[in-house]
Chains A and B, each alone.
Chain A
Amino acid sequence: MERTVLDLWVGVFVAAGIAALLILALKVGNASATFNVGDTYRVSAEFDNIGGLKPRAPVKSAGVVVGRVDQIQFDNERFRARVMMNIDKRYQFPRDSSLSILTSGLLGEQYLGLEAGGDTENIKDGESFKLTQSAVVLEKLIGQFLFNKAAEGGDTKK
């Protein structure tokens, strides 16, 4: 085979391979969402129970992704979970905003819901949200429900 034709085919092959990798990274994967990590600020919050929240879970406000969970630690002094998150610099929130752990769909993944408060001052890098609501633990919910039912049953017997 002639050398120029060979070079052409190999060039096409390598270019197609790199294009496939780029498609995988940008169209299939979330590389485009992860690249702009430079302009975020870091805040934290404490929860009694984080349920199934995982690092990289989205932080959503009004359903829009505004940041991502970065780290989850256990505070051994207060026995609570400390969740660090990176929030996009474009979005600023009042200091008294509240965070709750929610589930997308019936069986979906858990995410942090951010409800804006009414404070005039915005939260800054390194600070923490004070108002938090823990994840709903299904077993506790069922236990409470059964307890209430039992209590009701006791009342009617009287």
Chain B
Amino acid sequence: MLDRLAAPLRRLGRQCINAVWRLGYASRFFLFVLMRSGTSFRRFQLVIKEIYFAGVLSLIIIIVSGLFVGMVLGLQGYETLQKYGSAEAVGTLVALSLTRELGPVVAALLFASRAGSAMTAEIGLMKATEQISAMEMMAVDPIARVVGPRFWGGLISMPLLAAMFSAVGVFGGYLIAVVLIGVDEGAFWSQMQNAVDYRDDILNGVIKSVVFGVAVTAIALFEGYDAPPTAEGVSRATTRTVVTSSLAILGLDFVLTALMFRGA
């Protein structure tokens, strides 16, 4: 009787302990990656290769989505703003929403599903096919050789991708508002330049994208390294990477926004 009552409590306790243990394991993993990233900088060619896979190959999806997001913002912004006779403010709207929020957040979400999932699958599969163990046998540190360069490659790529997303998005807004609809070009740019501050808006956007880059790559690498070495384990880890890093991006975005733009 008492046993049956205690069972759900015991399950809750086990889940909590598991969650805390996993968090601690992930933090230690992250610390190890940072401590052993010396190799990444001594053999920078490894990082360059990862920048190619995580950054250069993500360019097309980032640029195309940036263009479309900017164009949609331009259209929707114009629809609403012209009711109040201030259609020129569409430039401000597009630039502020892109540099502050949409640029870093949407680029990070795309980065998580495009590059993060690939990292998890790659490392998970390396583990499943015992390549990681083979490296350990050869006295090659897999964290320094495999995980470190991927971490730094993703960390370097992410802010650059977010900046390109924002820049292309502003251009998309310009295409719709000025070229297609015919908002005055001078007012479009000058109102934008008046409203966007390079420190408050653009630099904060860059800080956000760096934080998201750390979060996405750390989650992706940990999930890959921690994946059970089976086909099912790798597939679950890949799914978990996308879900966890998307939630982490959105949660961190709220915290960072609250810290950066609190009633300023």
CA distance A21 to B202 in the complex (A): 8
Q: Which of B84, B95, B161, B189 interacts with A17 by CB under 8 Å? A: B161
Q: How far is the CB of B218 from chain A (nearest CB, A)?
A: 21
CA distance A107 to B11 in the complex (A): 59
Q: Is the CB of B167 within 8 A of A29?
A: no
Given known A17-B164, A21-B206, A24-B166, contact A7–B198 (CB-CB < 8 A): no
Q: How far is the CB of B2 from chain A (nearest CB, A)?
A: 63
Q: Which of B56, B95, B164, B196 interacts with A10 by CB under 8 Å? A: B56
Q: Does A34 contact B (CB under 8 A)?
A: yes
Which residues of the partner chain A approach B86 to less than 8 Å between Cβ atoms?
Answer: 105, 107
CA distance A10 to B160 in the complex (A): 11
CA distance A105 to B52 in the complex (A): 49
Q: Does B170 contact A (CB under 8 A)?
A: yes
Q: Is the CB of A28 within 8 A of B95?
A: yes
Q: Is the CB of B52 within 8 A of A23?
A: no
Q: Is the CB of B95 within 8 A of A13?
A: no
Query: Which residues of A in the span 2-37 have a Cβ within 8 Å of any Cβ on B?
Result: 3, 6-7, 9-10, 12-14, 16-21, 23-25, 27-31, 33-34
Which residues of the partner chain A approach B99 to less than 8 Å between Cβ atoms?
Answer: 24, 28-29
Q: Is the CB of A30 within 8 A of B197?
A: yes
Residue of A nearest to B166 (CB): A24
CA distance A10 to B163 in the complex (A): 16
Which residues of the partner chain B approach A56 to less than 8 Å between Cβ atoms?
Answer: 197
Q: Is the CB of A13 within 8 A of B198?
A: no
Given known A24-B99, A27-B189, A28-B202, contact A13–B51 (CB-CB < 8 A): yes
Which residues of the partner chain B approach A29 to less than 8 Å between Cβ atoms?
Answer: 99, 193, 196-198, 201-202
Given known A29-B197, A30-B196, A31-B198, contact A9–B167 (CB-CB < 8 A): no
A interface residues, tally (CB under 8 Å): 28
Which residues of the partner chain A approach B161 to less than 8 Å between Cβ atoms?
Answer: 17
Q: Which of B52, B163, B197 interacts with A9 by CB under 8 Å? A: B52
Q: Is the CB of B170 within 8 A of A28?
A: yes
Q: Is the CB of B196 within 8 A of A20?
A: no
CA distance A105 to B187 in the complex (A): 14
CA distance A21 to B99 in the complex (A): 10
Which residues of the partner chain A approach B197 to less than 8 Å between Cβ atoms?
Answer: 29-30, 34, 56
CA distance A1 to B49 in the complex (A): 9
Q: Is the CB of A9 within 8 A of B198?
A: no
Q: Is the CB of A20 within 8 A of B160?
A: yes
Q: Is the CB of A10 within 8 A of B194?
A: no
Residue of B nearest to A25 (CB): B198
Which residues of the partner chain A approach B163 to less than 8 Å between Cβ atoms?
Answer: 17-18, 20-21, 24
Q: Contacts A10-B48, A30-B196 known; list 9 others, CB within 8 Å.
A: A6-B49, A7-B48, A14-B51, A20-B168, A24-B99, A28-B193, A29-B202, A34-B197, A56-B197
Identify 16 residue pairs between A and B in the complex whose beta-carbon atoms are under 8 Å apart, listed by A's number: A1-B52, A10-B48, A10-B56, A13-B56, A13-B157, A16-B59, A27-B189, A28-B99, A28-B167, A28-B170, A28-B192, A28-B202, A30-B193, A31-B202, A34-B198, A56-B197
Write the residues of chain A forming the contact surface with B, with a CB cutoff of 8 angstroms.
Answer: 1, 3, 6-7, 9-10, 12-14, 16-21, 23-25, 27-31, 33-34, 56, 105, 107
Write the residues of chain B forming the contact surface with A, with a CB cutoff of 8 angstroms.
Answer: 45, 48-49, 51-52, 55-56, 59, 84, 86, 95, 99, 156-157, 159-161, 163-164, 166-168, 170, 189, 192-194, 196-199, 201-202, 205-206
